Amino acid sequence: MPRCSLSRWITPLVVLLISTTVSSAQSSMNATVAEAVAFADSAETLLYDLGVKAGRAAWVQANFITHDTEILAAEANEAYVAAAVGLATEAARFNGLDLDYDTARKLNALRTSLTMPAPNDAAKTAELSQISARMESTYGRGEYCPDGADGECLSLPDMSQIMAQSRDADELLDVWTGWRTVSPAMRTDYQRFVDLMNEGARDLGFTDVGAMWRSNYDMDPDDFAAELDRLWGQVQPLYEGLHCYVRAGLAEEYGEDTVPLDEPLPAHLLGNMWAQQWGNIYDLVAPASSDPGYDLTELIDEEGMDAIEMVQTGERFFTSLGLDPLPETFYERSLFTKPADRDVVCHASAWDLDDQDDLRIKMCIEPNAEDFQTIHHELGHNYYQRAYKNLTTLYRGSANDGFHEALGDAVALSVTPAYLVELGLLDEEPPASSDIGLLLRDALDKIAFLPFGLLVDQYRWKVFSGEIGPDEYNAAWWELREQYQGIQAPNARTEDLFDPGAKYHVPANVPYTRYFLAHILQFQFHRSLCEAAGYEGPLNRCSIYGNEEAGRRLDAMMQMGASRPWPEALEALTGSPEMDATAIIDYFAPLMTWLDEQNAGRSCGW
């Protein structure tokens, strides 16, 4: 979610920063501890000022979409990014100095904040920027024009809708293949992109870009990679059971010639362009009795809840934990419904405009179950943002980049039948036998996502390190898809193609591990909060609503922000400094038992 902060004049500050950075390489040998401390302090001041300005410009642009607001937001963001790039390069001056904890942590945060490190060469930096813009534009303009379509072309949203709704295997294959005609043009650019970024990473003191990204996790980069594989090993049995069950359902729908029962799943039949989430094919694999016993959207409608009441209900969830109410300005300044007189960005997001108390959400709320859960998720971000407001600028963030999303999702896991009974929306909890359909639907999105969430960066880290060379960009991608997901391409994928580029985060150079971590941590957070609340029973039925001990644990972690290594923040909440994916197994235990029963006699695996 956007953490939008921001403020005044930018250009003179950026010019000063750039001029300082240019001379930094020459003076790095003479850097002192005192200079490092002063630099960290001035960097925080600069980033705060530019951040507040950029955030306010972004808020206005999202809520009043015009040509001018887009320009103003882009200019403010460009100034912030330019400053961050310059500060990261300048921070490298102080590598090797014996610094106090806070200064060292803040300088490392500056160095690892970049995802696209540029070389210390103006011409190469310009080339890197041009390649980045070109790849993003190629992706953004991407479309597929089917033969015989009378000139009508399909955008990615058009194709995504077909992937979600069609049950025609030939149509799905055509659209799946068609989208991947967009990315081969990126292949040569991506190779040069990797070379230039690696040079920039080395200039900052890292062996390659992958090591730089992994250095942002308070662990040795190689140890962190091993940690991810350990977590995957904990949840792999549940994924394999889901995979086996889904394969049988797809084979029944499309025939075993199309979906062989002893092979990886065809990538085009899972309801999603990248086969990263499978919820869109729930109707093909839903259990015979999948009625959860209630419809939350109907309950909201019967109660006559409007957008404000839905948000107030979400806020009461947090105050029931002993946390303070949101400031009055939250209700005055947030956007809750779509205005009738202008276009706005309706995508739900949580905002912190001044790193203090100017908290807001931006949503076009509809009275339905999805938005009810989303409100709880977004307010989780707001409460996290406020909890660390007393820290300095570089510490105002989550313990690692997976924590913020994990916390919002963990809160949403407490929207259970028991919680709805507490609210008076539901008279009584349905029997536990009603949970299988809900758990399966959740698993088709959250469990199916896990191997994909892991492999996207596994792939790029190997590319950055040189383990995967340009001559095997495509083959290596599909080897990892099969290894982790048990998914295969539905037709021949040769090395003149570039299928990784068909996923936005690759050409846009957005790290992906955060999404894997968020999916792991949300269940660990949920289990620990339920234990703190003294709950006993199926984990998927637990809600921490009304429990102040759970709120105390949550607040203790949130107040730490990014000031301490994430294992310490995790321990403050869970009692353990280690990530533990067994909470997922606990949450989905009823489904796992059911899947084992359904898969009896089947040959699972690939």
- Which residues participate in catalysis according to the annotation? 347-348, 377-378, 381, 405, 505, 515
Q: What Rg, from alpha-carbon coordinates, does the chain have?
A: 25
Q: Is 115 in contact with 206 (CB distance < 8 Å)?
A: no
Separation of alpha carbons 122 and 131, rounded Å: 14
H/E stretch holding 447 reads helix 435-465
CA distances 243 to 177, 239, 256, Å, are: 23, 6, 15
In this structure, what DSSP letter does residue 219 have?
A: S
Measured torsion, CA atoms of residues 263, 265, 266, 269, in degrees rounded to the nearest 10: 150
Cβ contacts of residue 81 below 8 Å, gap of 6+?
none
- 115-131 exposure pattern, b = at least 16 Cβ within 10 A, e = fewer: ebbbbbeeebbebbeeb
What 3-state class would DSSP assign to 155? strand
Per the listing, tokens 């929207």 go with 415
Closest by CA to 502, choosing from 182, 175, 135, 194, is: 182
Helix extents (H) in 337-389:
369-387
In this structure, what DSSP letter does residue 6 have?
A: B
Query: Which amino acid is it at 397?
Result: G
Closest by CA to 83, choosing from 162, 14, 25, is: 14
Q: Is 572 in contact with 556 (CB distance < 8 Å)?
A: yes
